Chain A
């Protein structure tokens, strides 16, 4: 089933006269930079999920809030869909343009507006890069905790829209846990302040609702983040296991010992070998699984916890436990994990990164299931896993130049996500639904739940002009998707007509 916007099942989009809209925008916002020629639109036809491409009708590159506000007012009045985009690093097609819509690029809002070390907050524009925030705070001994692996490039506005995660979520939380305040514009161009500089605000928690709403409820124009003091030390242990089950048991045992590591990552054999080949991190290439466990905090505590974790890992059956001897080795241990994706990229012309979450206890069964599904589809899968918080990133290896392989990879990916849902997990831990997982939403939520999501949307954008087709599928899409996925004779959404 095609992932690109399909008006037949995703809902009709208003027809807009491009020339008339351009004229109107030129007239009303003369200093707004816009791109509208075919060759100028090309670079914007996809985000980090490059397998899916659509040229937008036009691209707007505002620099001032008033331009954004006026643009939204006009799009609202003219019924033009608006897709917001930050740095375009998203992996789920959340910023995939519409050929009948405006692509609103917020990347030029890239100023850090205010840093308050005493309050441990930073107020920034949405186009500021994630890592740039921590770099600016470094002189004060502070940093911004969420660290998605795209942090050198991704923008904070996109992080908020996706509720981005990273490798330190178990201890330090997701984006939603590290925000104080958002300034947003509604599709009507109305300014709202969500949250405040205090730790809570009166009324409903719209800050939480907007975080991760994928640009469907409003446009983020300013973000106030919380900062943390940098941990005094960070140490990392590398443990090898001869089975994934044992590595999984070690993870549970570490938690049971009352230890919350700053990072706890697992890689399977294919991922280990790929990373070692690429980075020479010193990984044991014969191990079936490795665990990287980072402990951070005050020196004395970290020292004690390292001893505890080492013992736990050995008791769980680790064949070897190594502690990085110095900072250089620690960085090398991490470099292998952080470069796992490009390392896999060297094994295969293309790979497709999944993002399911599961209760950790289900890991052995799910990995077994993935291996079985991969064999059925004739494809290889490497697994890297944020083991601390149950977030798996199976990487499906394929070659898009081989006829049918992309379709097989997509089908396999979909089935892996449905497996995650079946064991009580979720189709997306940190990458977002976007366009990529729109069909799997039908597996995770029933029609009543989806109806409620649409009701939330209607409270902020009743005409559905903000990022239509993303995040929440229409019931018709689910009916059509369900028709292809009849499990045990039970048709999902039996109440809906099929066409």
Chain B
């Protein structure tokens, strides 16, 4: 495992870009380059800035440089019997921690554990004013100043260059068991809504149109009791990795892939195309060439992101005008020259 502090070089490149007014395209391994809009700019590669800065399992906090491979972070936690509960997808063997934070995507456990941003405790960031700053920290509770660290999660590098992040981690569950149940999607969603109101140790719930897939996690007693109650066929836990990394047959090439984020209590949705349910209904994958997906999903109280590069000009759901104005103002304040990933999220900033 390599460790190297390349923050001075990154800062120098940002300051050069400020001087020349050259936009920067921030990247790690480019595993998530297919998300969002095309960015024209000089490449700023974070991968030289890598390594775990500090990790004390009894503090439940790990601090890691942005260019560190995500796999290295996960292996380090695993060796200590801990995990990043939001189980972010990598979408590539060389995915970096910085990209994971910038994209802010979470895996199957998200509705029960929280998202990537929920586990961010602190960050170091190079700003549009050419400063390398620290926000938040390595403690669980910290309400000093604005929460810039969590703001950076999911901001696709548009507000600054993330150089380091401190994350809350948790012990791995003692027992983990996956099962599948024969239920149609309407039955499955209604059961999930019912189970959601009970203290059941469910930590993942997906439906492929025919079967409901569940993961149970917790202590020996609660998992055994839940298994006895729910029954079902045993399921290989690889299912969850394949779902998270989009390696299931459903994700094979074809029509454009959309991620729908929805209120969790909606029943089955009739939308044009093929669907796969995750997050107990709160996240659904849709393969469709329909043109009005975002407006349809908006009417349902959610939003849609296109995961097929170039299939649309607005891969992220357009923002309401008032909200867009404040996004632009925030971007203008934090990155006045518009250097960082201009247009990656929206054409307007």
Contacts and interface: CB of A to CB of B under 8 A. Distances in A.
A206 B326 contact: yes
B235 interface: no
Interface stretch (B125-133, B177-185, B241-249): B125-133
5 contacts: A118-B196, A119-B264, A162-B143, A173-B114, A433-B145
B155 interface: yes
Interface in A456-472: 456-460, 471-472
Contacts of A471: 145-146
Contacts of B318: 202
A252 B222 CA distance: 25
B115 interface: yes
A157 interface: no
Nearest to A458: B333
Contact of B141 (A191, A232, A391): A391
Q: Which of A361, A437, A452 has the most CB of B within 10 A?
A: A452
Given A390-B140, A445-B145, A471-B145, 12 more contacts: A120-B196, A173-B114, A177-B118, A186-B326, A199-B264, A204-B154, A209-B146, A212-B146, A256-B58, A297-B218, A357-B142, A448-B127
Contact of A390 (B139, B218, B319, B330): B139
B255 interface: no
B59 A361 contact: yes
Contacts of B317: 202
Interface of B: 56-61, 81, 104, 110-111, 114-115, 117-118, 127, 129, 131, 133-135, 137-148, 150-151, 153-155, 158-159, 170-172, 174, 193-194, 196-199, 201, 218-222, 224-225, 261-265, 279, 282-283, 301-303, 305, 316-320, 322-324, 326-327, 329-330, 332-334, 345-346
B323 A357 contact: no
Contacts of B221: 298-301, 303-304
A360 interface: yes
A448 B138 CA distance: 20
A230 interface: yes
A84 to B, nearest CB: 16
Contacts of A260: 170-171
Interface in A415-446: 424-433, 437, 441, 444-446
Contacts of A229: 196-199
B267 to A, nearest CB: 10
B47 to A, nearest CB: 25
B199 A200 contact: no
Nearest to A117: B197
Q: Which 5 A-B pairs have the closest CB atoms?
A: A300-B221, A301-B219, A429-B141, A258-B171, A298-B222
Interface stretch (A163-171, A235-243, A480-488): A163-171
B308 to A, nearest CB: 17
Interface in A86-143: 116-120, 140-142
B141 A389 contact: yes
Contact of B139 (A193, A300, A425, A448): A425
B139 A297 contact: no
Interface string A254-270: 01101110000000000
A223 interface: no
Contact of A449 (B57, B117, B135, B218): B135
Interface string A183-206: 000100011110011111111111
A367 B250 CA distance: 57
A163 B147 contact: yes
Nearest to B110: A199
A357 B145 contact: no
Given A198-B301, A300-B225, A437 B322 contact: no
Contacts of B219: 297-298, 300-301, 304-305
B150 A199 contact: no
Contacts of A256: 57-58
A206 B322 CA distance: 13
B199 A232 contact: yes
Contacts of B264: 119-120, 198-199
A452 B303 contact: no
A120 to B, nearest CB: 6
Given A230-B199, A301-B222, A437 B144 contact: yes
B143 A200 contact: no
Given A198-B262, A361-B58, A391 B140 contact: yes
Contacts of B153: 205, 208
B142 A300 contact: no
A455 B151 contact: no
Nearest to B219: A301
Contact of A199 (B111, B147, B151, B333): B111
